[in-house]
Amino acid sequence: MGKVIGTITDIDGSIQSVGVDCGAQGLQQIAYEQLVVQGSVVIFIPKWRLDSQRLLREKQLTLRRLKALIDIVSENDDMKEDAEIIHEKYKSKLESLDELENKIKSKLDARQAALEEQLKSTKMLLFDAKVQYKSNEISENTFETVKSCATELIEHVTHESAEISNVKRRIADLDAEVITVTTPPKKEIQESAVSYLGNSEQEQLVQSILPEAPTDPVIHSEATRADETESHLPTPPKEVKKETSHYDDWLGRMEAS
- Confidence band (pLDDT; 50, 70, 90) for 146? very high
pLDDT reported for residue 23:
85
pLDDT at 99: 86
pLDDT of residue 226: 47
Question: Using one digit for the tens of pLDDT, what is the confidence trace for 119-138?
Answer: 999 999 999 999 999 999 99
Tell me the per-residue pLDDT of 213-228, one tens digit each, with 9 for 90 and over: 555 555 554 545 545 5
Q: Is 7 exposed, middle or buried (0-12, 13-18, 19+ CB in 10 A)?
A: middle
Q: Is 244 helix (H, G, I), strand (E, B) or coil?
A: coil
Say if CB 67 and CB 181 are below 8 A apart. Answer: yes
State pLDDT tens for residues 33-54. Answer: 888 888 888 888 888 999 999 9
Is pLDDT of 3 > 80?
Answer: yes
Confidence of residue 234 (pLDDT cuts 50, 70, 90): low
Q: What's the pLDDT score for residue 248?
A: 54
Span 145-164, mean pLDDT?
A: 94
Beta-ladder partners of 17: 8, 31
Residue 115, pLDDT above cutoff 70: yes
What band does 80 get if pLDDT is binned at 50, 70 and 90?
A: low
pLDDT band at 63, cuts 50/70/90?
confident
- In 10 A of CB 125, how many CB atoms? 14
Query: What is the sign of the dihedral through the CA atoms of 67, 70, 74 and 75?
Result: positive
Quote the CA–CA distance of 43 and 20 in Å, as a whole number.
12
For residue 50, how far is the Cα from the chain centroid? Answer: 27
Alpha helices in 135-256 (DSSP H): 140-182, 189-208, 222-232, 246-256
Question: 233 or 181: whose pLDDT is higher?
Answer: 181
The residue type at 190: Q
The pLDDT mean for the chain works out to 78
Cβ-proximal residues to 28 (8 Å cutoff; 6+ apart), any chain: 1, 2, 19, 20, 22
Mean pLDDT for 194-204 is 51
Burial of 72 by CB count in 10 Å (0-12 exposed, 13-18 middle, 19+ buried)?
middle
